[in-house]
């Protein structure tokens, strides 16, 4: 399976806007346009950097995810806006993309000790994916969602 993460740029951002999830998943994850707006608006403060990524299977965009982080911190690395287009789901692209993102964070940020994300309490499919990839429930809530944490072993 040839899955890659490529930055969202002026060359592919319109394609990212066309990604959508199933009707049942709409309340689990914001559309890519909301995540892309965060890059400009910086709702979490100027200290937070946002890096949006398109998930590609070969040369076709299959999904979206974003890394939000505060540089030089050990625990402020967040994956958010993670979605696989409805037409591309069920093929393992989400797991492959998540593992690529975890590897990228580990290699780029050697001081990172944990990676976080939030998950809707009713999104059992995503919870299974995250747990099977090494995330655990942090016992915290943020914006009505459970916080999951991935410990980065060095």
DSSP β-bridge partners for residue 142: 145
Q: 0.75 exceeded by the pTM? A: yes
Instruction: Give residue 154's pLDDT.
Output: 59
Largest Cα–Cα separation, the chain: 40
Instruction: Give residue 72's pLDDT.
Output: 74
Enter the tokens of residue 33.
């346009």
First-last CA distance in the chain: 27
* Cα radius of gyration (the chain): 15
DSSP output for the chain: --EEEEE--TTTHHHHHT----GGGTTTS--HHHHHHHHHH-TT-TT-EEEEEEEEETTEEEEEEEEEE-TT-SS-EEEEEEEE-GGGTTSSHHHHHHHHHHHHHHHH-TT--EEEEEE-TT-HHHHHHHHHTT-EEEEEEETTEEEEEEE---
**CB 54, CB 63: distance < 8 Å:** yes
- pLDDT of the chain along its 154 residues, tens only? 799 999 999 999 999 999 999 999 999 999 999 999 999 999 999 999 999 999 999 999 999 999 999 977 878 899 999 999 999 999 999 999 999 999 999 999 999 999 999 999 999 999 999 999 999 999 999 999 999 999 998 5
Domains of the chain: 3-112 (3.40.630.30)
Total Cβ atoms within 10 A of residue 17: 14
List strands edge to edge, sheet with 145-151. 3-7, 49-57, 60-69, 77-84, 114-119, 145-151, 136-142
């Amino acid at each position: 399976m040839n899955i890659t993460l490529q930055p969202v740029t002026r060359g592919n951002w319109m394609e990212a806007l066309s990604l959508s999830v199933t009707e049942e998943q709409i309340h689990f994850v914001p559309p890519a346009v909301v995540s892309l707006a965060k890059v400009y608006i910086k709702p979490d403060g100027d200290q937070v950097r946002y890096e949006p990524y398109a998930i590609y299977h070969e040369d076709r965009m299959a999904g979206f995810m974003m890394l939000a982080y505060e540089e030089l911190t050990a625990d402020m690395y967040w994956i958010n806006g993670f979605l696989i287009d409805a037409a591309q789901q069920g093929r393992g692209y989400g797991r492959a993309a998540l593992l690529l993102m975890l590897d990228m964070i580990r290699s780029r940020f050697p001081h990172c000790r944990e990676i976080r994300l939030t998950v809707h309490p009713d999104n059992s499919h995503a919870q299974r994916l995250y747990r099977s990839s090494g995330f655990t429930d942090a016992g915290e809530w943020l914006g009505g969602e459970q916080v999951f944490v991935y410990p980065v072993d060095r």
